[in-house]
Structure 1
């Protein structure tokens, strides 16, 4: 069986839209979804956690690297994942497809992008395309700064280096977490630096970024234009239709995520506190997310969420 599309998952959820909340209460009280350590997913996970808590569920959000997180979903150790970036993570989707136990609940974000970029000093050095990098190797110290080990984007960079594409065969990929990478960019000052950059992310406001053209083969067209998808175990969707319906309707946008991520990264807010504040400021979004969703004990969901965030 192949991974269901968002339409297929919606049909499944529709078929399961029965008064089965008693089963939800006994078997679905804890909802497990992983965090790969990326602030955008931390932000959306924070929103999901606030909503679930207000509905009477208990969110369980372990921090797992991208490869480990996909294995956890495939092996039934987690229930949902809100961070399936496509096309960057297509290989993981292909693996889940072959496994045949995962459904796509919804495309939760459009307008994202993810590719290599340079800081202002790099742009001032004349780098605007992947093909411009090697001529400025010494200025960049021959290093490309990536994110956590095992991330698909890092694998794409390493494959590019090993194939000596764009003359980058003697360059080095520096793997680290998101925050360590951005700290390196901040420390660079007037020195050129090339690194992974993406939107949504407050880095786009804090750093003068030039996204590099020419990386279509490595990251996809339109500067690594991407969509983000929510995946879930089919067995969980069948057993927990109320919680699954929430996730199938939980759709975000780039401006929203930029705000949430800025509050987390720049203001030091707890992700759930940031989410609760944003939801209180934007109560109109709750109705769409909670349409037809109840609390775990069968009460109207939207009213419960709005009451919780106003406290």
Structure 2
């Protein structure tokens, strides 16, 4: 190789190693996400949004029921969902897997739980298990308070009623929003009335109310009081199209403490979700180190530095 050709080769190598290269397709710059209207998913979506915006992406978050959200992923109208609660959503996942419509990105929360609960003053009357409800039907109005129509948990409860399991054949599921359900719980607790409802962790309800999770519902909600794991899903093919954004979502895992704190900021302090996310990250900047490992900005620059700059850290 001549000196001139060697110099040109070195220059080309230097150009390749110093020029930013976008890892993701242009179509990845806006990431379409769904939110069933649950504050835990609103919280994790907000953290993802704040970080993605610092990396030069944007998010388009659509409020959709679980059923519609999954159908939208199947139709390729939604890219990412951070709220795949398992095993409660097993039926939906089986259908999506059969259609090869989604890919699991990561387990984003390992120690959630999700089953029926009562205020502890109700449990102290001896109502601590699913099988204890039927004998006290009148005091409960034969009602179980659930969340939004179409939610898998509501469907599980309706199956339980239809099968007359635990003697609950004459009961009904009251479908409402998360906020509406908790308003009914608050009303009942003020007058120490009996009320049974869907409860889960993470959620500020666990500190707002003195709750007792009911035993006995393993067949419908899983063992260990509805012990659950939450997964991040992507529509089929999206991780290959958007490897850099996918790397962030692989890294983006949470704890009960993180989500409880975020949800409290939104529900108790009245903060907008993205403002709550910025507030939490600024108070816990060390979380960014793991979340942004091996992640770049959309145009290929170091991701951690960019996000810290965007947040004024």
Superposed CA offset, 1:86-136 (max 9, x none): 000011110111111321110000110000000133223221000111111
1:272 corresponds to: 274
1:27 aligns with 2:57: no
1:157 corresponds to: 157
Offset of 1:59 from its aligned partner?
A: 0.6
1:292 corresponds to: 294
1:304 corresponds to: 306
SS at match of 2:62: coil
For this pair of structures, how many residues does the alignment match? 293
Superposed CA offset, 1:28-73 (max 9, x none): 1101110010010000000000011111101100000000000111
1:49 corresponds to: 49
**TM-score, reference length from structure 1:** 0.91
Q: Which runs of 5+ in 2 are unaligned?
A: 1-18
2:241 corresponds to: 239
2:103 corresponds to: 103
Of 22-31 and 163-172, deviating more is 22-31
1:192 corresponds to: 194
Contact in 2 for aligned 1:25/1:296 (Cα 8 Å): no
Cα distance in structure 2, aligned partners of 1:104 and 1:26: 23
1:130 corresponds to: 130
SS at match of 1:136: helix
Contact in 2 for aligned 1:125/1:192 (Cα 8 Å): no
Cα distance in structure 2, aligned partners of 1:186 and 1:79: 36
Contact in 2 for aligned 1:263/1:274 (Cα 8 Å): yes
Structure 1 residues 23, 305: closer, same or farther in 2, change over 3 A?
Answer: closer
Structure with greater Cα Rg: 2
Cα distance in structure 1, aligned partners of 2:24 and 2:76: 17
2:36 corresponds to: 36
Contact in 1 for aligned 2:73/2:101 (Cα 8 Å): no
Q: Which runs of 5+ in 1 are unaligned?
A: 1-18
The structure 1 segments of at least 4 consecutive aligned residues displaced by more than 3 Å after TM superposition are: 19-23
SS at match of 2:138: coil
1:3 corresponds to: none
**TM-score, reference length from structure 2:** 0.91
Contact in 2 for aligned 1:121/1:193 (Cα 8 Å): no
CA RMSD of aligned residues (A): 1.4
Offset of 1:20 from its aligned partner?
A: 9.7
Contact in 1 for aligned 2:25/2:242 (Cα 8 Å): no
1:73 aligns with 2:38: no
1:229 aligns with 2:224: no
Cα distance in structure 1, aligned partners of 2:252 and 2:81: 12
Superposed CA offset, 1:230-254 (max 9, x none): 1112322111111111111110011
